[in-house]
Structure 1
Amino acid sequence: MADPDLVVDRLRLRRRLLFWRVGAVVAFVLAWLGLGGQALLHHGPLVGRDHLARVRVSGIIGSDNRKLIDLIDGAAKAKSVRGLVLSVDSPGGSVSGGEALHDAVARFAARKPVVATMGGVAASAGYMISVPAQRIFAGQSTLTGSIGVIMQAPDVSGLLDRVGVKVDELVSGPLKGQPSAVQPLSPEGRQMLQGVVADLFDQFVTMVADGRHMPVDRVRSLADGRPYTGRQALPLGLIDQIGTERDAVAWLARTQHLPEAIPVVDLKAPTDGKWIPRLTRSMLSVILGEEWAGSVVSQGVALDGAVALWKP
């Protein structure tokens, strides 16, 4: 049978060790943050050294790109960032979202060089955000262009009539309820919405004309909504060169008299603090063990307010 005094001493020693271990973790995290952990997370270990920034835009472009725009604007002001590589693989998306990204790239291009490199598709708003670049690269089979705007208004009023459902809409004016999913689009509503589409289209055409240094009428002749392959887009002036990202970086380095092997660092939007519990758990796992780490993190990190939590 173990000596009771020895058992008590061991328990006291374990508590002391746990206290100092937790203190060490807290000190490490605070020091890491104080030394610029956020900057290293977002810009890689090359902060302070000359490098190119890369922004990847893939998938549908949404309407809220504030975090990415802030990163682009910040990179434009950073002395160590010598240029921007815009990597696009997107079929387009929100007009307002594309416009905001376009303007951010244009602000960067006004201060430092930008090259755009297109993946499988860079069409519609995906093309819109590319046009401020000083040079656009695409593959021969890249689908690009598709300069135009579309607005869809679903109408299920016919289905509702069949099932005997009637919806009354009270509106302050004849165009307030246009379009409506439960009422047919009126001639006046159609004319009004067509005017909105036409104005957005004019804005898109102007962006392309300014970015590609082409006459507006020339852009309009190409802007009937059709996509072009990279091989078709090249002689039309919509892109500058058939090539890959490696070709784009080489062109940028050569024209800006930069080292051929200049690093390219991804700009990534912050993760809203989700990295904190991951980092904390990793450190606790090393110092306390996986079981203790899971318990501490689940009970204390990323939980808001008072909770009663049972974790087997």
Structure 2
Amino acid sequence: MSLDSDIIVDRRRIRRKLTFWRVMAALIAIAAIAGFALIATPGAPGTFVSAGSIARVQIDGLIRSDSDRTRALELLEDSQAAAVIVHINSPGGTTAGSEQLYDSLTRLKAKKPLVVVVEGLAASGGYITAIASDHIIAQQSSLVGSIGVLFQFPNFAELLKTVGVKVEEVKSTPLKAAPNGFEPTSPEARAALDALVKDSYAWFKDLVKQRRGMDDTQLEKVVDGRVFTGRQAIDLKLIDQLGDEKTAVTWLEEQKGVKKGLNVRDYKLEPRFSDLPFLKTAASVTLEALGLGSIAHQIAQTGVVQAVDRAGMDGMLALWQPAASN
């Protein structure tokens, strides 16, 4: 009996130690996750930029209104970054979103030396973004321009007529919700849209003329909606210099007095937990330590955000996901 009692006592002691170390591991991992998340938050202290570095901001894809992006750029204004290099690779987007981004970069430029590097494309709204800078650099084969405004909408009137469907409506005035795509566009509706396009186009042209220092003759050569290569754009005053990020750093050093030899570090405008492999690993370790291995496996396969989202879904689900790799 004494031997059995000793075994039981030893087992309980081992269990207590195991529980203690599991809790400690969980606390350490949680603290690490919280600390790294703080660092990775847009504009938070230590966000990949410091007093001894140049911030690299990436503008990719379609440009839309984005309050998080605006907030991140505002925080960059007050950071310790010595300067900012904005890389643009965008076909444009909404006029309002492009104007919002232009305004944000203009405010940022007022506080820090800023230069734009066109990687592959800065067209339409992407070019609106680029001209926020006083100096634009592009590669020889980059495409810039497309100065113009477009309003497109599908019209299904003939299709509906073919299938025998008619959309009925009651509206306060003839131009309410026009065009609607279910009926031929009236001359009045087309004229109203034309006025919108022309007004936005005039704003775009005036912005280019002002920011690029063009006269009317120079402006008329570039505002017909075409894109131009970097080689063409430099002669047309759409950009200032051919080159890449190294060219931008040299310009900052020579023209803006930025200290030589500074590192260029990424400044994330919209980081997500799922973009950070460390967080995925830390979360998995935490859950393994607490004995929640199945959830840890799900995080390892799908990422923190997806695992949390799925954990919050109740009821019957019809959910497709890629098969987990072996």
Give the shorter-chain TM-score range: 0.7 to 0.9
Distance 1:51 1:154, change over 3 A: same
- Supply the distance in 1 between the matched residues of 2:175 and 2:126 (Cα, whole angstroms): 32
Q: CA deviation at 1:116?
A: 0.7
Match of 1:57 among 52, 59, 66: 59
Partner residue in 2 for 1:77: 78
Q: Are the equivalent residues in 1 in contact too, given 2:40–2:271 (CA < 8 A)? A: no
Q: Does 1:29 align with 2:30?
A: yes
Partner residue in 2 for 1:227: 227
Partner residue in 2 for 1:13: 14
Q: CA deviation at 1:232?
A: 0.8
Distance 1:305 1:156, change over 3 A: closer
Cα offsets for 1:39-63 (capped at 9, x unmatched): 35656675543221111111222x2
- Residue 81 of structure 1 aligns to a residue whose secondary structure is coil
Q: CA deviation at 1:267?
A: 1.5
- Residue 119 of structure 1 aligns to a residue whose secondary structure is strand
Q: CA deviation at 1:198?
A: 0.9
Q: CA deviation at 1:203?
A: 1.8
Distance 1:210 1:37, change over 3 A: same
Structure 1, gaps ≥5 residues long = none
Q: CA deviation at 1:4?
A: 7.2
Question: Which amino acid in the other structure matches residue 18 of structure 1?
Answer: T
Q: What TM-score do the two structures reach when normalised by structure 2?
A: 0.81
Distance 1:205 1:48, change over 3 A: same
Question: Which amino acid in the other structure matches residue 149 of structure 2?
Answer: V
- Supply the distance in 2 between the matched residues of 1:192 and 1:162 (Cα, whole angstroms): 29
Partner residue in 1 for 2:320: none
Question: Which amino acid in the other structure matches residue 178 of structure 1?
Answer: A
Distance 1:159 1:40, change over 3 A: closer
Structure 2, gaps ≥5 residues long = 317-326
- Supply the distance in 2 between the matched residues of 1:216 and 1:289 (Cα, whole angstroms): 72
Question: Which amino acid in the other structure matches residue 31 of structure 2?
Answer: L
Question: Which amino acid in the other structure matches residue 160 of structure 1?
Answer: L
- Aligned residue-pair number: 303
- Supply the distance in 2 between the matched residues of 1:296 and 1:3 (Cα, whole angstroms): 40
Cα offsets for 1:253-300 (capped at 9, x unmatched): 2222223321112111344555696254244278578937717979x9
Q: Are the equivalent residues in 2 in contact too, given 1:277–1:301 (CA < 8 A)? A: no
Q: CA deviation at 1:114?
A: 1.2
Q: Does 1:187 align with 2:197?
A: no
Partner residue in 2 for 1:166: 166
- Supply the distance in 1 between the matched residues of 2:124 and 2:53 (Cα, whole angstroms): 30
Identity of aligned residues (%): 34
Q: Are the equivalent residues in 2 in contact too, given 1:92–1:124 (CA < 8 A)? A: yes
Distance 1:47 1:246, change over 3 A: closer
Q: What TM-score do the two structures reach when normalised by structure 1?
A: 0.84
- Supply the distance in 1 between the matched residues of 2:270 and 2:52 (Cα, whole angstroms): 22
Question: Which amino acid in the other structure matches residue 208 of structure 2?
Answer: V
Distance 1:113 1:289, change over 3 A: same
